[in-house]
């Protein structure tokens, strides 16, 4: 690699990169494919035992078991330069969702970093235990072990970040209070602070209170649960659509199949003989979701620990760089949570410094525009920019597979020319 000997060389390089000729007949939109291709490895499995987390055997669909599995998928650049240690980002989703909800974001961000999308226990293609003692604490412990195991198996470097959306943000907040190898965490439209329950999700608690099995035949689901569960899945698509800002042209009963598949037999869309009377509802998964809602929503788990809330979150233990992102059109999570949470973390930083603690805790915020609650699929380009900017500020700009030039329209310069300039121009001894 050539060594830069003067500021004139740098300035000439920058000038040449952004002033090349433009063919006015060619589009100037920067798309992910301009940066390179993404390699995708779907539906891997992390296997563990409940006893490893101090839990007894749990009720699975095929009987009691001590074993469980967590489903995850990997997106990463197809070509990673040998001399670059790219960062790895783990993603934890929220309610009525699964890891595929992050895939639109992954199709952009995956050209720069290694991404791992996790199906939480009880969601997607992970195990779905019944009667489980759901809590943010248990979710955080399981996912910390998962991250440690996956990083070790694949022999990745320790430039690790974690991102949580919705109540996945609650899981990540708890993780941020524990000593791990993580550099930073991002909360997107997080449940944070109040840990309240909203009507659309909180009403699922009714399903957790109903008898799941029939008294007459313990092998069958009770008729009352079937009626209530079918009513829920009937409004599921509309509920999911209401959390997006996109039009119905982009979000409809076909495009949302990847989420409905957790609760409704998706083959109904491809089989012409399917109808409401013979379409199967996955009652086991609906029950698991209801039990999740009954245990995770409320109970002060994400409120600060205090005399009145002894099992709350110990904010003083937060110890990694953090960022909070919020959508301007998110009707599910209040926007005022962002400055409140930022203020609380700022006070923790002041306290830690007064105690001469040297934890990495820092806090910044950002907003996503023209996006609903599920902003990762509404505005993936905006969030890609926010994530790259955050990681660059935390560990420097040299942990991406390729330099980032934005996702919007290029005002000047030709992208292919700029990429060639990047190849020619390198600085020695980049950390």
Mapping DSSP onto H, E and C, the string for 188-226 reads ECCCCCCCCCCHHHHCCHHHHHCCCECCCCCCCECHHHH
CATH 3.40.50.1820 fits 30-196+299-408, yes or no: yes
pLDDT at position 268 is 54
Identify the residue with better confidence: 249 or 164: 164
Percentage with pLDDT > 90 across the chain: 58
- If pLDDT is split at 50, 70 and 90, which confidence band does 2 have? very low
Q: Which helix (H) or strand (E) holds 38?
A: strand 38-49
Judged against a pLDDT cut of 90, whether residue 54 lies above it is answered with yes
So what's the pLDDT on residue 62? 93
Residue 151 has pLDDT above 90, yes or no: yes
CA distance 129 to 81: 42
What's the pLDDT at 3?
54
pLDDT(209) > 50? yes
Q: In Å, how far are 42, 142, 194, 204, 225 from 287, measured between CA atoms?
A: 26, 21, 25, 9, 9
pLDDT above 80: residue 265: no
User: Where does the pLDDT of residue 247 fall: very low under 50, low under 70, confident under 90, or very high at 90 and above?
Assistant: low
- 62 SS3 class: coil
**pLDDT score of 197 more than 70:** no
Phi, psi of 342, rounded to the nearest 5 degrees: -60, -45
Instruction: Tell whether the model's pLDDT for residue 141 goes beyond 70.
Output: yes
How much is the pLDDT for 266? 63
Helices 415-424 and 7-18: angle between axes, nearest 10 degrees: 160
Rounded to the nearest integer, the mean pLDDT of the chain is 88
For residues 240-277, one letter each, b for 16 or more C-beta atoms within 10 angstroms of the residue's C-beta and e for the rest, the string is bbebbbbeeeebeeebbbebbbbbbeeebeeeeeeeee
Distance of CA 139 to the CA centre of its chain: 14
Residue 242 vs residues 59, 198, 247, 281: alpha-carbon distances, Å: 33, 14, 10, 22
Q: Which of 66, 88, 57, 59 is nearest to 75 (CA)?
A: 88
Are the C-beta atoms of residues 316 and 348 closer than 8 Å to each other? yes
pLDDT of residue 109: 97
Can you tell me the mean pLDDT for 259-266?
75
Instruction: Specify the 3-state DSSP secondary structure of 116.
Output: strand
Phi, psi of 252 (to 5 degrees): -150, -170
Distance separating alpha carbons of residues 247 and 251, to the nearest angstrom: 6
Residue with the bigger pLDDT between 334 and 349: it is 349
Give the span between the Cα atoms of 421 and 118, in whole angstroms. 37
Write down the pLDDT at residue 251: 67
What pTM was computed for the model? 0.92
What integer pLDDT is reported at residue 160 of this predicted model? 97
Q: Shortest CA distance to 285 belongs to which of 60, 110, 117?
A: 60
Which residues does residue 186 pair with via DSSP β-bridges, in sequence order? 163, 323
Nearest alpha-carbon partner for 283 in 217, 210, 203, 216: 210
Pairing outcome for strands 114-118 and 182-188: unpaired
- Tell me 2's DSSP state: P
Please indicate whether residue 122 or residue 30 has the higher confidence score (pLDDT): 122
Residues 6-13, mean pLDDT to the nearest whole number: 83
Q: What's the order of all strands across the beta sheet hosting 38-49?
A: 38-49, 67-77, 114-118, 88-92, 160-165, 182-188, 321-327, 362-368
Instruction: Kindly tell me if the per-residue pLDDT of 4 is higher than 60.
Output: no
pLDDT of 1 strictly over 50 = no
Mean pLDDT, rounded, for 246-257:
63
Taking residues 336-354, report their average pLDDT: 93
**From the centroid of its chain, how far is CA 422?**
31
- Measured distance CA(229)–CA(286) in Å, rounded: 7
Which residues, at least 6 apart from 225, have a Cβ–Cβ distance to it below 8 Å?
A: 207, 210, 211, 212, 283, 287
Domain ranges of the chain: 30-196+299-408, 209-297
Task: Give the pLDDT mean for 66-91.
Answer: 96
pLDDT for 354-413, tens place per residue?
988 766 899 999 999 999 999 998 999 999 999 999 999 999 999 999 999 888 877 777
Q: Which of 287-291, 367-371, 414-418, 423-427 has the lowest mean pLDDT?
A: 423-427
Of 358 and 196, the structure prediction assigns the larger pLDDT to 358
Q: How far apart are CA 89 and CA 346, in angstroms?
A: 24
């Amino acid at each position: 690699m050539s060594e830069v000997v003067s500021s004139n060389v740098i300035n000439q390089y920058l000038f040449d990169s952004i002033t090349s000729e433009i063919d006015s007949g060619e589009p100037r939109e920067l798309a992910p494919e301009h940066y390179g291709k993404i390699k995708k490895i779907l539906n891997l499995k992390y296997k563990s035992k409940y006893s490893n987390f101090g839990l007894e055997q749990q009720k699975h669909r095929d009987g009691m078991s001590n074993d469980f599995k967590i489903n995850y998928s990997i997106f990463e650049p197809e070509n990673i330069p040998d001399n670059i240690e790219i960062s790895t980002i783990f993603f934890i989703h929220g309610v009525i969702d699964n890891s595929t909800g992050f895939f639109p974001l992954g199709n952009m961000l995956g050209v720069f970093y290694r991404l791992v999308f996790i199906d939480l226990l009880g969601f997607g293609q992970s195990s779905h235990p019944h009667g489980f003692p759901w809590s943010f604490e248990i979710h955080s412990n399981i996912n910390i072990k998962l991250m440690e195991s996956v990083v070790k198996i694949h022999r990745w470097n320790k430039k690790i970040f974690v991102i949580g959306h919705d109540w996945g943000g609650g899981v990540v907040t708890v993780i941020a209070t524990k000593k791990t190898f993580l550099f930073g965490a991002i909360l997107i439209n997080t449940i944070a602070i109040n840990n309240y329950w909203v009507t659309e999700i909180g009403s699922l608690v009714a399903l957790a209170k109903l008898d799941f099995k029939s008294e007459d035949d313990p092998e069958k689901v009770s008729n009352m649960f079937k009626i209530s569960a079918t009513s829920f899945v009937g409004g599921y698509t509309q509920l999911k659509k209401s959390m997006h800002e996109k039009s119905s042209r982009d979000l409809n009963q076909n495009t949302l199949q990847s989420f409905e598949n957790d609760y409704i037999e998706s083959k109904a869309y491809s089989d012409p003989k399917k109808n409401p009377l013979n379409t199967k509802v996955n009652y086991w998964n609906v029950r698991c979701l209801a039990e999740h809602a009954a245990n995770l929503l409320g109970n002060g788990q994400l409120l600060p620990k205090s005399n009145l809330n002894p099992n709350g979150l110990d904010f003083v233990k937060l110890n990694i760089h953090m960022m909070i992102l919020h959508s301007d059109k998110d009707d599910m999570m209040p926007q005022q949570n962002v400055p409140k949470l930022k203020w609380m973390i700022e006070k923790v930083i002041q306290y830690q410094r007064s105690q001469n603690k040297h934890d990495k805790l820092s806090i910044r915020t950002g907003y996503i525009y023209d996006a609903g609650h599920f902003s990762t699929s509404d505005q993936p380009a905006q969030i890609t920019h926010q994530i790259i900017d955050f990681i660059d500020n935390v560990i420097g700009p040299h942990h991406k597979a390729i330099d980032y030039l934005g996702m919007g329209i290029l005002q000047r310069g030709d992208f292919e020319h700029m990429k060639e300039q990047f190849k020619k121009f390198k600085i020695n001894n980049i950390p």
